Amino acid sequence: MKDIAEIRADFPILNRKVYDKPLVYFDNGATTQKPQCVLDAVDEVYKSYNGNIHRGVHYLSDMSSEAYEKAREKVRSFINAEKREEIVFTSGTTGSINGIAFSFGERYIKPGDEIILSRLEHHANIVPWQMMCERKGAVLRVIPINNKGEIILEEYYKLLSTKTRLVSVTQASNALGTVLPVSEIIDAAHSANVPVLIDGAQGIQHGIVDVKEMDSDFYVFSGHKIYGPNGIGILYGKEKWLSELPPFQGGGDMVDKVTFEKTTYNDLPFKFEAGTMNYPAAIGLASALDYVLNIGRENIGSREKELLSYATNRLSAINGVKIYGTSDRKISTISFQIKNIHQYDTGMILDKMGIAVRTGTHCAQPVMDSYGIDGTVRASLCFYNTKEEIDTLADGIEKVKSMFA
Amino acid sequence: MTIKEVQDNIIEEFSLFDDWMDKYNLLIDLGKELPVIDPKYKIKDFLIEGCQSKVWLHPEYDGKLITFTADSDAIITRGIVALLIKVLSNRSPGEIISTDLYFIDKIGLRQNLSPTRSNGLLSMVRQMKLYAMAYNAKNKYGN
């Protein structure tokens, strides 16, 4: 594995200063920084071979189309999907979930049907289902969590019933870092003949994801959270589902024949890719996935585990710091509060020390409600962060405490 | 003092500090000096919700001047609230409506009033002007 100095040198932005202080970037849960190879890949599209995909007979269009389809193949092998037809490009995790919620609702949902989510979901995995439920007269059921921020599996088993049509849960909580027991969730759903969507927005960048082994029916994630460009995401769906579901958007490229009387749809995956897709970002994503493979997903996982344990020890040793989300299985995300100090105040002072954290409810208000708090400070680390940066955060917290004492 | 003079005083006070931490320490102190809002007004009717911090704002109009009291759950926000109160409280509706708040920009706190920050401050300024407009209309047209 590359050493940490080499890794950091791959990410130009990590070198910069903010307010004359070296940047400490601990907001990777919101978006990750991009290695030079990703910037180059996107740049290269526009410089050398930009042409709209699947449209032209000309050279550039062919080159772009080929690179775009290669990117699809890269994603397929990265998550070990069976077929390239099962990989749909979208705008991001939110776009993927909205699409499935719409199509699944249109095809399968009747009044009184139930969708199961967990209390740990990001709003992106709540609101699209709520909108669908309102349209179709269906009902959301929510798996509760315990004090450590883990879902309570026994309660989930009780919620599964003949009314359940789909289970949609996150792989890891963006607000607390908890990793969910997805294989238990999927096994139980499948024995009740219920399909499962896994929101991988906070999962895929932290370890190996194998959708075949996981056996999820749908798996979605965002490119920009795994070192790729913004504006590109993935919707993986088993072919049997994707071929049965209606498209969620209409437009060019997704059609087979169009007359004003009737339109027939293109084959998978194009049926779900209406309009001009963000192919430069898809090509950049492929480069990001290559970068991750090159570093090694086991290496990333073990390095982040080490950072998490160091940060957890360092922060919990500070008088007055309370960590929310204390499961044994976590991604490298730490949510905390300092006693009697508002998270916004903490975030503002840390910012001026060059430390980028997120404050507030993290688009997961139900999680905050279950602890009776209105927000936390979240430090979300990844493999390019260092123990020295964690020390800087710890010093920052001491400084905040002294200022607001 | 005119609104302009108050703003210029604030700008001068902040210009003494180059360091961000000193500016924030000043804001923290200002927040502590803020006249306390009557707890009976810390209710939903007077709450300006931001997703980062909350602000409560209560107006009182004696027929000539509007007096604002306010509070926030975050101390830095409360410091900026205190500055806004200094500038805009005890003024006539007409003055409040026509004021250009240039001091925020000048003391380097503009980011705190950006719509994306969502800390309740931008809405607070808007709300102060809305109260002023409402009282102004009441004066002109009665109830």
What pLDDT does B114 receive? 63
- Cβ atoms within 10 A of the Cβ of A309, count? 12
Gap between the Cα atoms of A364 and A167, Å rounded: 18
Confidence of residue A101 (pLDDT cuts 50, 70, 90): very high
Pick from A290, A295, A293, A288: nearest CA to A1: A295
ipTM for this model: 0.85
What are the tens digits of pLDDT across the range A210-229? 999 999 999 999 999 999 99
Asked whether the beta carbons of residue A352 and residue B20 sit closer than 8 angstroms, the reply is yes
Task: Name the DSSP class of A338.
Answer: E
What pLDDT does B143 receive? 58
pLDDT at A50 over 70: yes
DSSP H or E segment with residue A269: none
| Residues of chain B positioned with their CB less than 8 A from the CB of A348 | 24, 76
What pLDDT does A48 receive? 97
Instruction: Work out the mean pLDDT of chain A and round it to a whole number.
Output: 96
- Judged by a CB distance cut-off of 8 A, whether residue A190 touches chain B is no
Tell me which amino acid residue A264 is: T
Question: Domain check: are A266 and A161 in the same one?
Answer: yes
Q: Is B51 a catalytic residue?
A: yes
Residues of chain B with pLDDT under 70: 50-51, 112-119, 143
Min distance A402 CA to chain B CA atoms (Å) = 11
Task: Find which of A19, A21, A342 to mutate to test the B interface (most B CBs within 10 Å of its CB).
Answer: A342
Question: Domain check: are A254 and A146 in the same one?
Answer: yes
CATH, residue B86: 3.90.1010.10
What pLDDT does B132 receive? 95
Whether A34 is covered by a domain: the verdict is: no
Active site residues per annotation of A? 363
Min distance B23 CA to chain A CA atoms (Å) = 11
Task: Find which of B18, B20, B71 to mutate to test the A interface (most A CBs within 10 Å of its CB).
Answer: B20
- Find out whether A377 and A343 touch, Cβ atoms under 8 Å: yes
| Residue in this structure with the two tokens 């940066």, named with its chain if needed | A389
**Residue A298 in 3-state DSSP?**
helix
**What share of chain A in percent tops pLDDT 70?**
100
Tell me which amino acid residue A111 is: P
Q: How many domains does chain A have?
A: 2
Domain boundary among A293, A316, A334: A293
What pLDDT does A57 receive? 86
What pLDDT does A9 receive? 98
Question: Domain check: are A203 and A326 in the same one?
Answer: no
pLDDT at A106 over 80: yes
- Find out whether A148 and A120 touch, Cβ atoms under 8 Å: no
Whether A353 is covered by a domain: the verdict is: yes
Please give the structure tokens belonging to residue B41.
Answer: 């007004």
Task: Name the DSSP class of A327.
Answer: -
Question: Domain check: are A283 and A384 in the same one?
Answer: no
Asked whether the beta carbons of residue B119 and residue A360 sit closer than 8 angstroms, the reply is no
- Calculate the CA A73 to chain-centre distance: 20
What pLDDT does A169 receive? 98
Gap between the Cα atoms of B118 and A142, Å rounded: 29
- Judged by a CB distance cut-off of 8 A, whether residue A349 touches chain B is yes
Task: Name the DSSP class of A376.
Answer: E
Question: Domain check: are A162 and A309 in the same one?
Answer: no
Question: Domain check: are A267 and A306 in the same one?
Answer: no
What pLDDT does A29 receive? 98
- Find out whether A118 and A151 touch, Cβ atoms under 8 Å: yes
Pick from B71, B72, B79: nearest CA to B22: B79
Question: Domain check: are A333 and A288 in the same one?
Answer: no
Gap between the Cα atoms of A222 and A385, Å rounded: 21
Whether A33 is covered by a domain: the verdict is: no
DSSP H or E segment with residue A90: strand A87-90
**Residue A265 in 3-state DSSP?**
strand
Pick from A387, A369, A370, A368: nearest CA to A378: A368
What pLDDT does B51 receive? 61
- Cβ atoms within 10 A of the Cβ of B130, count? 14
- Judged by a CB distance cut-off of 8 A, whether residue B25 touches chain A is yes
Q: How many domains does chain B have?
A: 1
- Judged by a CB distance cut-off of 8 A, whether residue B47 touches chain A is no
Whether A229 is covered by a domain: the verdict is: yes
Gap between the Cα atoms of A123 and A121, Å rounded: 6
pLDDT at A14 over 90: yes
- Domain that residue B58 falls in: 3-141
**Residue A363 in 3-state DSSP?**
coil
What pLDDT does B118 receive? 62
- Domain that residue A281 falls in: 39-293
- Cβ atoms within 10 A of the Cβ of A262, count? 7
What pLDDT does A379 receive? 98
- Find out whether A361 and A121 touch, Cβ atoms under 8 Å: no
Task: Name the DSSP class of A251.
Answer: -
What pLDDT does A294 receive? 97
Please give the structure tokens belonging to residue A156.
Answer: 């989930």
What pLDDT does B19 receive? 87
Asked whether the beta carbons of residue A361 and residue B51 sit closer than 8 angstroms, the reply is yes
Domain boundary among A293, A328, A362: A293
Asked whether the beta carbons of residue A404 and residue B28 sit closer than 8 angstroms, the reply is yes
Report the pLDDT averaged over residues A193-217.
98
**What share of chain B in percent tops pLDDT 70?**
92
Whether A190 is covered by a domain: the verdict is: yes
- Judged by a CB distance cut-off of 8 A, whether residue B137 touches chain A is no
Please give the structure tokens belonging to residue B48.
Answer: 């300006």
| Residue in this structure with the two tokens 């002109």, named with its chain if needed | B140
Considering only the beta carbons, identify the residue of B20, B25, B75 that sits closest to A342.
Answer: B75
Question: Domain check: are A237 and A365 in the same one?
Answer: no
Question: Domain check: are A162 and A246 in the same one?
Answer: yes
| Residues of chain A positioned with their CB less than 8 A from the CB of B54 | 374
Question: Domain check: are A288 and A347 in the same one?
Answer: no
Please give the structure tokens belonging to residue A149.
Answer: 């921020």
Domain boundary among A238, A266, A293: A293
What are the tens digits of pLDDT across the range A160-196? 999 999 999 999 999 999 999 999 999 999 999 999 9
- Judged by a CB distance cut-off of 8 A, whether residue A21 touches chain B is no
CATH, residue A117: 3.40.640.10
What pLDDT does A1 receive? 83
CATH, residue A389: 3.90.1150.10
What are the tens digits of pLDDT across the range A139-157? 999 999 999 999 999 999 9
Higher pLDDT, residue A251 or A152: A152
What pLDDT does A170 receive? 98
Report the pLDDT averaged over residues A313-317.
98
**Dihedral (CA of A75, A81, A84, A88) sign:** negative
Question: Domain check: are A118 and A196 in the same one?
Answer: yes
How many helices and strands in chain B, by DSSP H and E?
Answer: 6, 3
Report the pLDDT averaged over residues A245-265.
88
Pick from A278, A184, A327: nearest CA to A198: A184
- Judged by a CB distance cut-off of 8 A, whether residue A400 touches chain B is no
Asked whether the beta carbons of residue A19 and residue B20 sit closer than 8 angstroms, the reply is yes
What are the tens digits of pLDDT across the range A318-375? 999 999 999 999 999 999 999 999 999 999 999 999 999 999 888 999 999 999 998 9
